[in-house]
């Protein structure tokens, strides 16, 4: 019953924030204002608080998409002009940008995009006795651009994205064949025709992301709400026998997750010393929609960053012991990343709790759409998340 009350508190909190700030694109006023607002809430009950400003380059994270489309188009023109070497150079460059900017989340294109101010906020609840470890509970308050492919024929999402990348690689192979066999007259016609047909799919990528911004309830204000509500709960218990003894709680609401985890990256950079001084665990949360899809991540960032297997397993076991159906799961290649990756990179034991299917074939049907509103988030998933986290924290608070 107590957990349900906390879950309801999360809902009330999120509702108020969305009403007040609307969709919150990182780098714009609504996202910074939401940060200030969350900071005020944190200030009202935390032992200490912090606000960190940092710069992002707005739009850079998804910039590779339009570069890929343009590179493809110009490469096809070069094939028609019988200049396959230029097509090869262009396609390799586009693939390289894709790998560095999206597979590895490196800031390759950032300098070409407008510099905008973003804001992380955090609050700390100290334990009753000596601090022996710290647990980060985190979410993000910025919200995503609406992804058109999730609205128009979402079943084609995987074909349109992964398929397009496949076709670009195929174009590279075609261009090489064209270069090697440039004296075979028939190839001079067939190859440009096949490459042009490929543009029917690749060209659609131009419209991947819309200007519109999602309300961002399940992705991801609910997570910030869970971290605040739990922190406030521990603070309220401090004078009782049920107070945490040795666990410091750090509640964080990141900005710019949707810009390629830039908020978590800025936090990890700014607070490395604090994060390394005491054994630190991060329980990040993202996309809590449905308790039937609840799971704990064992890897992140297109499967290139390992998260803490043992932690994910322990949380899974905790959920199991409470009668909840959860699992652990690596993050599949080409499905992006979560803020846990940036802290795992500097050695923090981290995982992310997710409450929706996370593959290119299947996601929640409100994820990154205008329908990401509170009525599409189940109260039960929030309740179970809170219960699992609280049970695990108490079990390990020794
Ligand atoms: Zn998102």
> What pLDDT, in 10s, does the model give residues 227-281?
999 999 999 999 899 999 999 999 999 999 999 999 999 999 999 999 999 999 9
- b/e per residue, 92-118, with b = 16+ CB within 10 A? eebbebbeebbbebebbbbeebeebeb
**Ligand 1 centre from 17 Cα, in Å?**
17
Question: What topology is assigned to 2-57+117-144+214-396 in CATH?
Answer: Aminopeptidase (3.40.630)
Distance 331 CA to ligand 1 centre (A): 14
Name the pTM for this structure: 0.93
Digit-coded pLDDT (tens) for 188-209: 899 999 999 999 999 999 999 9
Give the residue extent of every domain in the chain.
Answer: 2-57+117-144+214-396, 63-104+152-207
Cα 279 to ligand 1 centroid, rounded to whole Å? 28
Q: 146: CA distance to ligand 1 center in Å?
A: 10
Rounded distance from Cα 335 to ligand 1 centre (Å)? 11
CA distance 249 to 236: 13
Name the one residue in this structure whose structure tokens are 């020794």: 398
pLDDT value for 361: 74
In the reported structure, the alpha carbon of residue 232 is separated from the centroid of ligand 1 by a whole-number distance in angstroms of: 26
Written as six digits, the tokens of 352 are 């992310």
Q: Ligand 1 centroid vs 44 CA: distance in angstroms? A: 28
**Residue 1 — very low, low, confident or very high, per pLDDT cuts 50/70/90?**
low
CA of 78 to the centre of ligand 1 (A): 37
CA of 270 to the centre of ligand 1 (A): 23
């Amino acid at each position: 019953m107590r957990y349900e009350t906390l879950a309801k508190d999360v809902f009330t909190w999120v509702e108020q924030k969305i009403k007040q700030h609307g969709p919150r694109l990182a780098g714009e006023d609504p996202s910074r204002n939401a940060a200030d607002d969350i900071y005020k809430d944190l200030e009202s009950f935390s032992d200490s608080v912090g606000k960190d400003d940092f710069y992002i380059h707005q739009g850079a994270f998804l910039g590779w998409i339009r570069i890929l489309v343009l590179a493809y188009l110009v490469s096809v023109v070069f094939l028609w002009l019988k200049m396959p070497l230029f097509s090869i150079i262009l396609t390799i460059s586009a693939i390289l940008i894709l790998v560095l900017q999206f597979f590895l989340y490196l800031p390759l294109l950032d300098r070409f995009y407008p510099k905008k101010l973003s804001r992380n906020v955090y609050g700390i609840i100290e334990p009753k006795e000596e601090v022996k470890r710290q647990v980060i509970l985190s979410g993000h308050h910025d919200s995503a651009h609406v992804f058109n492919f999730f609205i128009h024929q979402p079943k084609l999402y995987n074909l349109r994205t992964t398929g397009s990348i496949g076709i670009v690689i195929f174009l590279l192979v075609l261009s090489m064949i064209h270069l090697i066999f440039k004296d075979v007259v028939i190839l001079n016609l067939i190859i440009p025709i096949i490459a042009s047909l490929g543009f029917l799919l690749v060209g659609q990528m131009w419209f991947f992301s819309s200007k519109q911004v999602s309300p961002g309830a399940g992705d991801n204000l609910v997570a910030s709400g869970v971290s605040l509500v739990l922190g406030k709960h521990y603070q309220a218990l401090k004078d009782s026998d049920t107070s945490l003894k040795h666990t410091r709680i750090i509640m964080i609401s990141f900005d710019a997750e949707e810009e390629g985890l830039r908020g978590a990256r800025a936090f990890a950079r700014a607070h490395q010393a604090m994060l390394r001084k005491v054994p630190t665990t991060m329980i990040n949360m993202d996309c809590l929609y449905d308790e039937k899809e609840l799971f704990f991540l064992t890897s992140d960032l297109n499967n290139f960053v390992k998260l803490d297997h043992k932690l994910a397993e322990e949380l899974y076991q905790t959920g199991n012991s409470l009668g909840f159906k959860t699992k652990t799961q690596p993050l599949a290649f080409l499905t992006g990343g979560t803020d846990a990756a940036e802290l795992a990179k500097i050695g923090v034991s981290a995982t992310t709790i997710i409450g929706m299917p996370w593959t290119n074939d299947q996601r929640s049907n409100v994820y990154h759409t205008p329908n990401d509103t509170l009525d599409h988030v189940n109260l039960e998933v929030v309740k179970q998340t809170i219960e699992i986290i609280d049970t695990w924290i108490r079990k390990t608070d020794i």
